[in-house]
Amino acid sequence: MTGRLSALQRGKRLQRVTIAQVAARAGVSTATVSRVLSGRGPVSAEVRRRVRRAADDLGYQVNHAARALRNSRTDTVGMVVPSITNPFFTSLVENVEHALGREGKELFLCDARSDPEVEARRLASLVARNVDGIIVSPSHGTDSGPAVQATADRLPLVQLDRFVGGTNTDWVGVDDVAAMRQVVDHLHAGGARSAAFVGSHLTNSSTEQRFAGFRRRAEELGVAHDPAHVLLGDYSVDWGETAAARLIEGGGLPDAIVCADDLIALGVTRACRAHGVPVPDRVQVTGFDNIEFARLGEPALTTIDQPCARIAAEAVRLLAAAGARGDGERGASAHIALVPELVVRDSTRAPATTG
């Protein structure tokens, strides 16, 4: 077996082919090769054919480092998310990756571990790597500010989903307030006259906006929302379980529990089940994001569907636009708030008219 291995398999790796080698084989200069391969500049059909042939024969591939140095463009985009294990961010990453792939760009993925310091380091690293632009969902509503702004001063930058105050960059996400309005309307229609809110600490825009939207609509509709029924922790199933247990054991369980994301909601429904509290009959529960597992909950979660594909597409488009504008003037920053859709499943009650 070993005897049959080619020289290649035994050891030496393939040598990289440069433009100079292609030029030599085609009997032209490197300038001409570059012109043929990039399609810029006039080249006779005959030479074009020879160069293509030579490049194919040699298996030429551009050296992106050299090109990046010369063009100061890397065809690479950096993305920083608080936690890639949150399925919502996973979905965003997936969609951004696909959108970039369509333009021949590559994705540098960074996980900030919900820590603004790690986040700042990752951003700096991306800048040093000359990415063409950065897509970031900031971990913290204020602490992420300096690093995000400093980065935006050097590169096109788009904030996704969450945003940080005091910065002046493009943003794409959903209209959290409008979303919560739909949620509260739906719960109210299902008979809820009091509601709790379970979110993460108010240190990021998602929770802030969602809570604000919740409160505003609850007040408009006269849905009671006791301050003691606002529980803040983090975006996790565990926190959802803890919070729900606290609500149940504390007595005075409201008619509905509005959660700032699906992970929390999954934890809440789980705790309800464990405590023998029927959902939605005793308490209605809603999530946010519509992650894949939302429909797998027991009962399946009513939630807000985030249009991840569109969010990603818009973000990539904004970056491309910023890149095209060049390093020169930056216009007013774009704020694109998509209106999300309520997905009704089994964790909430049908409107009172039918029930």
Partner DNA sequence: GTCTCCTGTGTAATCGATTGCAGTGAAATT
Partner DNA sequence: AATTTCACTGCAATCGATTACACAGGAGAC
Interface residues with DNA (CB under 7 A) are 16, 18-20, 27-35, 37-38, 40-47, 60, 62-63, 66-67, 69-72
Identify what 44 binds: DNA, a second copy, none; CB under 5 to 8 Å per kind: DNA
Q: Which is nearer to a second copy, 109 or 212 (CB)?
A: 109
Q: Which is nearer to DNA, 49 or 275 (CB)?
A: 49
Q: Which is nearer to DNA, 47 or 84 (CB)?
A: 47
Instruction: Round to whole Å and give the CA distance between 275 and 241.
Output: 11
Q: In what helix (H) or strand (E) does residue 11 lie, and over which residues does it extend?
A: none
User: Which residues contact residue 209 at a Cβ distance below 8 angstroms, ignoring those fewer than 6 apart?
Assistant: 176, 177, 180
Instruction: Round to whole Å and give the CA distance between 60 and 3.
Output: 30
Identify what 293 binds: a second copy, DNA, none; CB under 5 to 8 Å per kind: a second copy
Helical packing angle, 116-128 and 145-152, nearest 10°: 10
Identify what 154 binds: DNA, a second copy, none; CB under 5 to 8 Å per kind: a second copy
Q: Is 302 helix (H, G, I), strand (E, B) or coil?
A: strand
Q: Which is nearer to a second copy, 159 or 182 (CB)?
A: 159
Q: Nearest-CA neighbor of 218 among 248, 177, 270? A: 177
Identify what 20 binds: DNA, a second copy, none; CB under 5 to 8 Å per kind: DNA
Instruction: Round to whole Å and give the CA distance between 84 and 108.
Output: 13
CB of 226 to a second copy, least distance (A): 28
Instruction: Round to whole Å and give the CA distance between 77 and 87.
Output: 21
CB of 70 to a second copy, least distance (A): 9
CB of 17 to DNA, least distance (A): 7
CB of 328 to a second copy, least distance (A): 6
CB of 36 to DNA, least distance (A): 8
Other Cβ atoms within 10 Å of 253 Cβ, number:
19
Token code pair at residue 115? 């820590």
Q: Which is nearer to a second copy, 213 or 240 (CB)?
A: 240
Identify what 103 binds: DNA, a second copy, none; CB under 5 to 8 Å per kind: none
CB of 136 to DNA, least distance (A): 24
CA atoms 24, 27, 31, 35: torsion sign: negative
DSSP code of 255? S
User: Which residues contact residue 297 at a Cβ distance below 8 angstroms, ignoring those fewer than 6 apart?
Assistant: 265, 266, 269, 270, 347
Identify what 28 binds: a second copy, DNA, none; CB under 5 to 8 Å per kind: DNA
Identify what 27 binds: a second copy, DNA, none; CB under 5 to 8 Å per kind: DNA
Q: Residue numbers of the site for a second copy (CB under 8 A)?
A: 5, 8-14, 61-66, 68-69, 72, 74, 76, 84-85, 87, 90-91, 93-94, 97-98, 106-111, 124-130, 153-155, 168, 237, 266, 270, 273, 292-293, 296-298, 327-330
Q: Nearest-CA neighbor of 62 among 40, 31, 38? A: 38
Find residue 7's DSSP bridge partners: none
Other Cβ atoms within 10 Å of 336 Cβ, number:
17
Q: Which is nearer to a second copy, 69 or 352 (CB)?
A: 69
CB of 172 to a second copy, least distance (A): 20
Q: Which is nearer to DNA, 20 or 339 (CB)?
A: 20
Other Cβ atoms within 10 Å of 244 Cβ, number:
31
